[in-house]
Amino acid sequence: MTNVRVNINGQFNVNNPFSAFNSENVTIDRTLASTDAPRNWSSFCTDIDKTLEEVTKVKASYKIFGPINIICYIGSLIAVFWYFRNQVTQFTPLSSTMGLYIAGALFAVSVSIVFVTNKRVNAGMAKLEVVCQNHSGNGSRYVLCNEHAGLRSTRYFVTVMNYDTEGQQQEQVAVGTFPSSVPASSSSTYAVPQPSAPSTNPYLQAAPAPAPAPTTGNSIFDQLSK
């Protein structure tokens, strides 16, 4: 049994909008040793990449909404600072309240962008998990996993478990060349079988011929009768 981690390339961090500024699509890493790859590895990668196209679209849209998120977050901090400054300098209550409203609105926009983006990414990964479950079986299993990569970022990867490595090697031998000990064709010349030597087992030998009976002329009773 083999247990291999397969990374998903092109992922981005929602909390770092600049991580989306690259042209790499979100795809699975197809680099896997032939001894570790299950029989349906090629079809699995094709279905995974097709599912990850939705995550790639989310990444492309976040190139626009990511900077807006930063601007709204920084603007909310400035509005909060303005609010407290007005409280200290005793500006009119209207100016102070306006700064608080602006801070709340900008912060709400920033949180909404992060929430919606995370929801779309999670929806794509949920479909990815379904693909893993559908392709599991016949000696192999695919499991979608995740880990924290800093700044509250979640990085996804796939664990590939192949239980049928021996069967796969036998299949490769079956479609390859024949071993040298196997005749290449049916035209090989075979030796004519020779008759076997007579058995030396005394129990299997023919019974000896009976000894000839003695002649009656040499009997002792005949000599005494003379």
pLDDT digits (tens, 9 = 90+) for 145-180: 998 876 667 899 999 998 865 545 444 444 444 344
Which residues contact residue 198 at a Cβ distance below 8 angstroms, ignoring those fewer than 6 apart? none
What is the rounded CA–CA span in Å between residue 37 and residue 161? Answer: 9
Q: 45 and 30 in contact (C-beta within 8 Å)?
A: yes
> 152, 160, 125, 129: which is closest to 29 by C-alpha?
160
What confidence score (pLDDT) does residue 192 get?
45
What confidence score (pLDDT) does residue 138 get?
85
Q: What percent of the chain has pLDDT over 90?
A: 43
> 108, 109, 25, 105: which is closest to 67 by C-alpha?
109
Q: What percent of the chain has pLDDT over 70?
A: 66
pLDDT 10s digits, 171-211: 444 444 434 444 444 444 434 445 445 545 444 444 445 55
What is the rounded CA–CA span in Å between residue 209 and residue 192? Answer: 36
Residue 33 tokens, joined: 């040793």
Beta bridge partners of 162: 2, 140
pLDDT 10s digits, 33-76: 777 789 899 999 999 999 999 999 999 999 999 999 999 999 99
What confidence score (pLDDT) does residue 99 get?
77
Residue 138 tokens, joined: 């016949």
What confidence score (pLDDT) does residue 174 get?
43
pTM: 0.65
What confidence score (pLDDT) does residue 93 get?
57
- Helix locations, 52-92, DSSP H: 53-89
What is the rounded CA–CA span in Å between residue 222 and residue 201? Answer: 44
Q: Which of 134-138, 147-151, 162-166, 215-219 has the lowest mean pLDDT?
A: 215-219
What confidence score (pLDDT) does residue 17 get?
82
What confidence score (pLDDT) does residue 150 get?
65
**pLDDT of 119 above 90:** yes
What is the rounded CA–CA span in Å between residue 117 and residue 65? Answer: 9
Task: Tell me the three state secondary structure of residue 7.
Answer: strand
Burial bucket for residue 11 (CB in 10 Å: 0-12, 13-18, 19+):
buried
The model's confidence at residue 143, banded by pLDDT at 50, 70 and 90, is very high
